[in-house]
Structure 1
């Protein structure tokens, strides 16, 4: 059965969460968790339809939707531009984020247990966001990114304070190889007493790439240790690349 198309503003947030909940629940979460354990990232099946992707990408021109615009070259983050949504998120963004949180929470708690960290994230996303706000992290961290020819994103981590959720998701809004070339998503893992390991992923339109915000647990001779990881984007060769970034803590 085809997905119901949810444009950026077509459904209230509560109904969007229900619609996306079915899509998210239909993913193979056992396999995704295994990929995350092994590589620190995992590619989902389709989460958005092409029409929904186009609807979201078109929001980039509406400055009223965003609290700030970042020119990456100005801050030596790379080249290109991205915008942070206000807290008044489009229902598509809010619904998809709410649907993904419970599934990611299972992995987050398992990782915390292995690393001996407090995995105290609450069951509900709204409760976790309230904790972020009480800690002084009050700004929306949901991102819409736009890259053109020659643009790229330097390796980094999206850490804004002490309140950290260990997983985030990027969703491709354009068609690789058709709308743009280049622009692979990059992950680099710093391995103990060894050279770093790199991973490059092409994110299909509407698919999500789940990846670690900070590090992932790896087995060591003494049990589990944290392998630091950073992410970025390779140089876009041609065309225009839009992506949606879903972060599960506030800035």
Structure 2
């Protein structure tokens, strides 16, 4: 399996941080190489090592999630750690802005050790497979004492060729305002860095927290396969964490 298409060192992280601050998401075009995307997509439902969860069983739509568990296929472990290393700076700045005392360690392994000490051992990174009329409802992965405020969502199928519909949708709820919907256009291999749950937003009276959730709209035709990389684990008892996170 090849490396991701876009070396993270070549990205404009200043611009990415600015977009995360203003919009709650940032697009990384061609983040995953085409052959890597195809190889990952074939793993959806093809490997007994992946734990399958039907979305209707957790009241979160229609389709399937396939959890990687503790062992991500290569080269995703290095890619995930490299993303974390750069995003930890944004996460710490957000915590400082919101007067949250916790500071994220510089390296992912140390942060995951904090997770384990807090009883968070349920890995959350997964593939999702949606076929005609399937969808993933609005949710957020915000369980546990130590929640990393950013995650990576990637598309492994080709829009218009492998499927139609199936857009990545974000909604942001600001206090005393209507929810703000956003549709993030993804091509095969593109990734979006999105806020996991809450992020700071600067209003007229200073900074306050806004709440973000994400979804995938109904697939009209074909099969859509995507991937989500989470940087924190969920509490072990929260196998149905999606059900609780919908109304977070």
Same fold (TM over 0.5): yes
Q: 1:50 aligns with which of 34, 56, 80?
A: 34
The answer (yes or no) to whether the contact 2:5–2:31 under 8 Å persists in 1 is no
In the alignment of these two chains, the number of paired residues is: 234
Tell me the secondary structure at the aligned position of residue 138 of structure 1.
Answer: strand
Corresponding residue of 1:215? 198
- Most deviating of 19-28 and 178-187: 19-28
Q: In structure 2, what is the Cα distance between the partners aligned to 1:245 and 1:65?
A: 17
Structure 1 residue 101: Cα displacement: 0.7
Q: In structure 2, what is the Cα distance between the partners aligned to 1:219 and 1:88?
A: 38
Q: Residues 194-235 of structure 1, C-alpha deviation per residue, up to 9 Å, x if partnerless? A: 111100112111111000001121112332100111111110
Structure 1 residue 21: Cα displacement: 10
Tell me the secondary structure at the aligned position of residue 176 of structure 2.
Answer: coil
The answer (yes or no) to whether the contact 1:172–1:204 under 8 Å persists in 2 is yes
Corresponding residue of 2:209? 226
**Structure 1 stretches of at least 4 aligned residues deviating more than 2 Å after TM superposition:** 19-22, 61-65
Q: 1:202 aligns with which of 185, 188, 197?
A: 185
Q: In structure 2, what is the Cα distance between the partners aligned to 1:22 and 1:50?
A: 11
Tell me the secondary structure at the aligned position of residue 48 of structure 2.
Answer: helix
Q: In structure 2, what is the Cα distance between the partners aligned to 1:46 and 1:65?
A: 27
The answer (yes or no) to whether the contact 2:20–2:26 under 8 Å persists in 1 is yes
Q: In structure 2, what is the Cα distance between the partners aligned to 1:95 and 1:209?
A: 18
Corresponding residue of 1:15? none
Q: In structure 2, what is the Cα distance between the partners aligned to 1:64 and 1:135?
A: 29
Q: How does 1:1-251 map to 2 (within 5 A)?
A: 6=2, 23-66=7-50, 68-251=51-234
Tell me the secondary structure at the aligned position of residue 69 of structure 1.
Answer: strand
The TM-score, its normalising length taken from structure 1, stands at: 0.89
Structure 1 residue 20: Cα displacement: 5.3
The answer (yes or no) to whether the contact 1:21–1:99 under 8 Å persists in 2 is no
Structure 1 residues not aligned, in runs of 5+: 7-18
Q: In structure 1, what is the Cα distance between the partners aligned to 2:35 and 2:177?
A: 44
The TM-score, its normalising length taken from structure 2, stands at: 0.90
Structure 1 residue 63: Cα displacement: 3.4
Q: Residues 154-202 of structure 1, C-alpha deviation per residue, up to 9 Å, x if partnerless? A: 1111122111000000111011111111111111111222111100112
Structure 2 residues not aligned, in runs of 5+: 235-248
Structure 1 residue 106: Cα displacement: 1.3
